[in-house]
Each structure stands twice: as structure tokens, then as C-alpha cells.
Amino acid sequence: MTESPSGEPIAPFDPTADRREYLATAAGGLAPLVARELEGFGALDLREDRAGIHFHADLATLYRCLLGSRVASRILLPLVRFDEPDGDACYVASRALDWPALFGLDATFAVDVTGKSSHIGHTHFAGVRVKDGIADAFRDAAGERPDVDAADPDVRVLLQLQGRQAQISLDLGNGGLHRRGYRGSGGDAPLRENLAAALLMRAGWPEHLETHPDAQFLDPFCGSGTLVIEAALMATHTAPGLLREGFRPHGWSGHDAGLWASCVAEARDAVRPWQGPPLLGSDRDRGAVAAARKAAQAAGVRDCTRFEQAEALTLEPPADHGMLVSNPPYGERIGNTPELIKLYSLLGERLRSAFGGWHVALLVADTTDSQRLGLRASHKHRFYNGTLACHLLQFEIHRRDEPTAAPAPDFANRLQKNLRHLARWARRQEITCYRIYDTDLAEFPLQIDRYEAEDGTVHLHVQEFAAPASVDPARAEARLRGALAAMLEVTGIEPAHLHYKQRRAQKGRSQYQRAETAQPAPFPVHEHGCRLWVDLDAYLDSGLFLDHRPMRLRLQQECRGLRLLNLFCYTAAVSVHAAVGGARQTVSVDLSNTYLEWAEDNFRANGLEAEIRDGRSRRQPGTHALLREDVIHWLEGATDTPGMVFERIFLDPPTFSNSKRTEDDFEVQRDHAHLILLAARLLTPDGVLYFSTNRRRFELDHEALTGLHARDITRETLDEDYRRPPPPHRCWAITRAGRE
């Protein structure tokens, strides 16, 4: 017997032993499945601890485990265990082993390290110390050492760090067993192959195959196809080790080439052609689908699988019954709570309405995702996808004898009624972007805007307001699920064109904050002869305030030959309308670089050039100027610039602002009179200043507007889609006193 640095005895390796103790490692949550596999291969004396599943096996059983295990991470021959694993301890433990008895000088080797220890700052250093111990042990015994090949060694040594303990082993699988060899790059956030196999086992796919020889399988979020391919390997009884090209545990001295060849032949003989329908995978990402097809070809299951580009939320079931197993996107992967709410709400409705008779298993990162589905899980198992804790939720979708009722019928009826009325009005007015629902029903606190891109594609911009605290959150979730599904049903749009956001009370800069979306995709729309860019994903607002549509048209018609000043210009849609209408000059002022660049794109989209420049410059602006400056600071100095007067001024300040780039905050009720008086200094004697605000219960301070007359024109600035009280904004036409 030899002793480790901690004094624990170690049995020396005996290459002639009939049976040895091995260790199978497993990812979090997979150990019971690995143990079940090992027992099926004939392993004995199974014992689980922190390191994994210890078992005894003869060489043939070991080979069957290496070839056939779908779930194990690695299969190891433990050599030494020791405590307090600092660099010196790793070296001493390694050098004490009889390495020449384990492999020869002609074999190349590599050292991998897993885990971590407080005694070692960098795991690479620990691996180097183990390698040094191996090299010195060989030099002591033979006067020379074998070569290192980190990429493709004959023998792989594994150092496992587990806090205050460590273990050195031979890695008999020469690396992670999840590396089947069929998957290249491509597809987002793929599952490891052994985790995919574990999900299928927990979902009952192997048992389902036994009772349903014509089993139908579907993964509607297939990514690079791992779940479908692993399901096909199970269906064809293909041992995953057969796919590892060139793999054989030949480098260590316990290897028996003849027995290995016999076990490989046995595994090949067990492969059966699949007689059932193709196992289906779909994904909205064309690149992921291409990667899945390529991987299936490499895995030898191309003939029994089919991958297609499709939208999961509108997918039709390929059969009356079957098994759906999938890993839909979740927060860690797409990082957008509103997008997740939309996805899981619509997915739950789709499963309930179309997949009656199916068994469904979904891997989710958060149990709240299951609540958004609106389905009750029959089973729940905990797994880890990398370091992220997840749950596999299983559902039995019951078949319904009667046709499924329309989701949220009251909401659907109101939306349909609104659309019929507004669509006729919009066609007459040649309007393609308009509001179709504005919290019409108290149970559905939503605002829905319809945007038609210039290519004819229709999008819905949906904003949900917080339900009162008295409303049961579960009931609110259920209503939202129904409403989102009804939107798709009533309008016929694709789910990808439904842009859902949560709207909460906003203050200051947060009024225009970015929404945490993965892939913003701006597109152009048309309004009264103008081409304007909108983005329904990146920000809470789209870049085009639809309620100001009549005001934009008014200024487009009034500004021919005139000069327009647009304050707090946002994306300068008002300025673009004026320019298209023949304005002699437009000056647009805003503090946001983002929105000024957006404004520049809007001008360019109409064949106009606009110059972005620092608003502190007092030189005369060009024909269409975009000035970067705090509006109040700019107004306080604008009268110093010769010729800075305008026949039309549009003033639409935020309700509240406390930009980091200015020292002062702004509140429209408190500060509007001062702001209007500053702006009016730049108004020509016969000019008009249009002041607009969306602050609820706003009161204009007429007495403070010395020398000015203000006329409420709110009703004149509301189109048919914004006629429901209360109005979305208030608006006044302000002129010099005596001109009214």
C-alpha cells in the first residue's frame, strides 16, 4: 500500500485485476439517471458521494458504460485522494503514483482540471504540478518522460478539486462523454448532449418508445437540434460512444483491444432502423435549422429526423398525440422579462388549444415561467444547464371534445369591433399607423397600436399597465395570456410581430429608457407623405407619437415658406413633416444623442440633409439643424444669435426631467410658464407657438403668460383613434396678445 499526502491509503493499480472500482461523474441533478444507466450495463456495488457514482465492473462492463452512457459526464479510474490540495500537495500526490504501470513512454498524455479549491488560485497551475509529478515519476523509473499532447492525447489524467479535497484519476473516456462528435458551431444557447438525454429520460421518451412504436416527437425551439438528435439516437438504439470518431481507451495498460472491438461490434449490432414518423424539430432561426440538419447528418440520424424553419407559437401538431420536449428561451438567454411574458403566455395558450393528447416537457429557468404558461405541471425535476438551476416541467395536455373557446372573448370582441371601425377611417385618411385599443375594458389595462411597415407587414405595439394591487396576480396573468392570444387570432399577425412591453409610472429619463430587448429591428412607416423610422423593441416608445399625428399634419400644411423651431424634438418627426411641407428652415433641439441620430435618419429617409451640432454654438443654423443641448439652457442664450426667430414653434416638453447632463430638474406643471415665455421670445409678431403636454390634470397658468394669448385646441389635435376620454395630451395655440 502507498499513502497519499494526507495519509489515506491507496491501492496500487493492478492491470491483471478482473474487477476494479470506477467513478462516473454527473452534472447536477443527473446522478440518479447515471446510476440507473450503470446498473443496466451490469455495474455492481453502486455508491454515490460528492464526487459522483462509484461502481465496480469488469472490463467488458466498463466498455459498455463508456460506449452506451448517454448521461454521465466522465468515467474515471480513481488513483489517489488527498487533502489540502495546494500546488505542492498536487505534485507530491502525482509523483507518488506508479505512472509507468498505468501507461508507457510511447503514449502521449494531458492533464485536465475541474472544480476549484481555496488552496489554489489558478487551476492551470494545479494541472502543471500534476504534470510535473508524472514527468518526474517517469524519469525516476525510466530516465525519460512521455510527451504531452493537450489536444488529442492517448491518456487523459483528471485532477478534481473539491474544496479541501482532491482526486487524481485516469479519464477513461478521454474527455467529456457529452462530446458525441456530431455538433459543430451554430444555434443559440445549446444544451449539452448528456443534459438533453437526461431531459428525455425524465420526460419518459425511452418508455414511450416501447409502448408507441410510431411515436411522434417534436421540439418547437430546437436550436441546433440536440434534443431531436438525442431522441433519435434513443429511438434507433444507437450508443453515443459509436459517434466519437476514433475513440478507444487504448492508451492505458488495462486496455484490451480485442475485448473493446467485441463491445463495439455488440453496440453496432444493437442499432435498429427507425420505423416511425420523422422526429421533428423547428426553430424560427434559419441558421439554427441549418446547423441542426448538419448535426443530424453527422450523427447518422438524418433519415429519421426533419428540421424546418417555423414559428413555435403558431405551430400545428403533426399528429393527434405525441411527445413535445423543448428548451424554450428564458431570462438568462434573452434577458427580457416582457418578451418572456409574451412568449410563455402565448406558448401556454397554444399548447392548451392545439396540443390536446400530447405529453409536454419544458425546461425552464424560473418556476414563474410555468405560472405564465397557465398549465399545471404533473411532474417537476431540477437540473442544471451549466451553472444555471432549471426545472423540467411536465404537462399532460388533455384532449377537448368541444372546440376550444376563443381566448378572452370580451376583449377579442372589443378589439374586433375597434378594428372594423378604425380600419375604414384609416383607409379613407390614408393612415397606416394608429391606436386600436386604449384600456377600453378595465380588466385588460392595455394600449395597442397598429403599425404597418412600408413592405405591408403589420405589427402590434402592446403596452400593459400595472393592474391595481387589489387584483389577484394569477388572474391578471390569465387575462394577459388570453389577450395576447386574442390579438394574434383577431389580427392574424405573426407572433414575432407582436411587440409587448410593460408600462409603469415613469419619471425623468426613464420616460424614454431602453427596453431590455435582444434584437431591436427598426423599420420605416409612412404618414402623410413622410417616411419615418420606428423601433418597437428598443425603447418603451416607438419613436413616433401617434397621438400627435394631427399636429404633424397641421404643421406640414402651415409651414410652407416658414421657419419652424421644434423644442424637445425627440426623433424630429414634426420637423420632417414641416420640411416635407416646404418649410424654409427647421431647427430641432434635444439633449439626447440617440434621438438626434434617429432624427437625422428620418430626414435622410425623406431625401433631406440635417446637420447635428452642439447647441452651444451661436452661429446661424443651416436649413435643417439638429441641436444637441438642454432646451432651457439653449433658449436662455438663443436671443443672442442674430436672426433666430420663427413663425412656428412646437413645444412638447416631458412631464418631468432630471437628466444627468443638467444640474436642474424640470416639472411641467411648475415650470411651463417660464418655458413658454422663454420660447415666445423667438416668435415672430404674427407667429404661433403650439404647446403640448401629456400630464394628466394639467392646468395652464394663463396669468403668468404675460403678453400672450393661449387658446385650447386639444379637440382639433385628436384623430378618431384618440377620441376616447381622457385625451392623451392637451394642446394650446399661443400667440402674442392682440393677435387672437
Average pLDDT over residues 335-348: 84
Q: Does residue 563 fall inside a structural domain?
A: yes
pLDDT reading at 658 higher than 50 = yes
Note whether 417 and 390 are same-domain residues. no
Note whether 491 and 590 are same-domain residues. no
Residues 108, 53: contact at Cβ < 8 Å?
no
Q: SS3 for 135-200, per residue?
A: HHHHHHHHCCCCCECCCCCCEEEEEEEECCEEEEEEECCCCCCCCCCCCCCCCCCCCCHHHHHHHH
Q: Residue 405's pLDDT is what?
A: 58
Q: Does residue 32 fall inside a structural domain?
A: yes
Note whether 325 and 435 are same-domain residues. no
The CATH number for 88's domain is: 3.30.2130.30
Give the whole-angstrom CA distance, residue 662 versus residue 664: 6
Q: Residue 155's pLDDT is what?
A: 96
Q: pLDDT band at 740, cuts 50/70/90?
A: low
Q: Does residue 188 fall inside a structural domain?
A: no
Cell numbers of 594, please?
440617440
Average pLDDT over residues 523-551: 96
**DSSP label of 734:** E
Note whether 197 and 233 are same-domain residues. yes
pLDDT tens column, 127-152: 999 999 999 999 999 999 999 999 89
Residues 5, 89: contact at Cβ < 8 Å?
yes
Q: Residue 401's pLDDT is what?
A: 55
pLDDT tens column, 27-68: 999 999 999 999 999 999 999 988 899 999 999 999 999 999
Mind giving me the DSSP string for 658-707? --TTSSS-EEHHHHHHHHHHHHHTTEEEEEEEEEEE--TT----GGGSTT
Note whether 540 and 655 are same-domain residues. yes
Where among 396, 425, 441 does a domain terminate? Answer: 396
Note whether 494 and 544 are same-domain residues. no
pLDDT reading at 585 higher than 70 = yes
**DSSP label of 239:** -
Q: pLDDT band at 296, cuts 50/70/90?
A: very high
pLDDT reading at 218 higher than 70 = yes
Three-state DSSP at 698 gives: coil
Average pLDDT over residues 248-265: 94
List, in order, residues 6 or more apart from 492 with CB less than 8 Å away: none
The CATH number for 428's domain is: 3.30.750.80
Where among 396, 431, 458 does a domain terminate? Answer: 396
pLDDT reading at 189 higher than 60 = no
Question: Which residue carries 409678431 as its cell?
Answer: 685
Note whether 18 and 88 are same-domain residues. yes
- Lowest model confidence (mean pLDDT) among 388-392, 466-470, 478-482, 712-716: 466-470
Q: pLDDT band at 168, cuts 50/70/90?
A: very high
pLDDT reading at 346 higher than 90 = yes
Note whether 477 and 595 are same-domain residues. no
List, in order, residues 6 or more apart from 482 with CB less than 8 Å away: 349, 407, 408, 411
Q: Does residue 176 fall inside a structural domain?
A: no
Residue bearing the bigger pLDDT, 93 or 19: 93
pLDDT reading at 13 higher than 90 = no
**DSSP label of 289:** H
Q: Residue 336's pLDDT is what?
A: 56
Q: Residue 3's pLDDT is what?
A: 44
**DSSP label of 101:** G
The CATH number for 590's domain is: 3.40.50.150
Q: Residue 467's pLDDT is what?
A: 83
Q: Does residue 642 fall inside a structural domain?
A: yes
Residue bearing the bigger pLDDT, 195 or 2: 195
Range of the domain at 11: 2-171
Note whether 198 and 339 are same-domain residues. yes
Cell numbers of 393, please?
416541467
Note whether 68 and 137 are same-domain residues. yes
Average pLDDT over residues 442-461: 96
Q: Residue 377's pLDDT is what?
A: 92
**What is the domain count for the chain?**
4
Three-state DSSP at 10 gives: strand
Q: Does residue 178 fall inside a structural domain?
A: no
Note whether 143 and 228 are same-domain residues. no
Residues 117, 166: contact at Cβ < 8 Å?
yes
Where among 373, 396, 419 does a domain terminate? Answer: 396
Q: Residue 518's pLDDT is what?
A: 44
Q: Residue 427's pLDDT is what?
A: 94
Q: SS3 for 492-550, per residue?
A: CCCHHHEEEEEECCCCHHHHHCECCCCCCCCEEEEECCEEEEECCCCECCCCCCHHHHH
Q: Residue 77's pLDDT is what?
A: 96
- Lowest model confidence (mean pLDDT) among 179-188, 384-393, 480-489: 179-188
Q: Residue 2's pLDDT is what?
A: 41
Neighbours of 593 (CB within 10 A): 11
Residues 486, 412: contact at Cβ < 8 Å?
yes
Q: pLDDT band at 514, cuts 50/70/90?
A: very low
pLDDT tens column, 88-102: 999 999 999 999 999
Cell numbers of 602, please?
428620418
Measured at the CA of 678, the angle between CA 672 and CA 683, to 5 degrees, comes to: 115
Measured at the CA of 502, the angle between CA 500 and CA 507, to 5 degrees, comes to: 135
Q: Does residue 252 fall inside a structural domain?
A: no
Q: Does residue 591 fall inside a structural domain?
A: yes
List, in order, residues 6 or more apart from 176 with CB less than 8 Å away: 73, 74
Q: pLDDT band at 505, cuts 50/70/90?
A: low
Note whether 229 and 109 are same-domain residues. no
Mind giving me the DSSP string for 569-581? -TT-HHHHHHHHT
Give the whole-angstrom CA distance, residue 267 versus residue 241: 9
How far is C-alpha 569 from the chain's CA centre? Answer: 32
Q: Residue 680's pLDDT is what?
A: 96
Residues facing residue 524 across a β-bridge: 533
Q: pLDDT band at 187, cuts 50/70/90?
A: very low
Q: Residue 578's pLDDT is what?
A: 98
- Lowest model confidence (mean pLDDT) among 161-170, 177-186, 346-355: 177-186
Question: Which residue carries 392574424 as its cell?
Answer: 492
Residues 477, 369: contact at Cβ < 8 Å?
no
Average pLDDT over residues 423-445: 95
Average pLDDT over residues 223-237: 97
Whole-structure pTM value: 0.84
Question: Which residue carries 425535476 as its cell?
Answer: 381
Neighbours of 280 (CB within 10 A): 24
